[in-house]
Amino acid sequence: MLATMCSPRWSVEKIVLPRETIVGVLVSEQRASDHVYLSDLAIDPAVHGKGYGRTALAQFLKRHGKSRVDLLTHEDNRTALQLYGKFGFRREGLIPNAFGNGQPFLLLVRNAVS
């Protein structure tokens, strides 16, 4: 389901259906040997609710299970908060101006699985 394009630190994974239809993207940065930042997980709104984001996240976390994974999301994005919560992410803090646009973002963290 995931097709990967990599640089030394960044990974862009296309979320692809069997007939090569791209339905989303997952972007991450390897910040240390045991730390990964999940920059983006985006699914085409036309296919929301079909489990593609959940499946892509599960595959991603399986590969990075021994790493701390963190991400930023809007504090009012209930769908994202529910999804990440199901995978063990917890709120670690609120960053008031994370991207310089004046909007606050929640920092969510999933610690390494032993």
Spell out a b/e string for 17-53, using b for 16 or more CB atoms within 10 Å of the CB, else e: eeeeeebbbbebebeeeeebbbeebebeeeeeeeebb
- pTM equals 0.84
Do residues 41 and 55 lie in contact, with contact meaning Cβ atoms separated by under 8 Å?
no
- Distance of alpha carbon 92 from the chain centroid: 16
CA distance 36 to 1: 20
Residue 88: phi and psi, rounded to 5, are 90, 10
Q: How do residues 35-89 score in pLDDT, each as one tens digit?
A: 999 999 999 999 999 999 999 999 999 999 899 999 999 999 999 999 999 999 9
The domains located in the chain, with CATH, are: 2-110 (3.40.630.30)
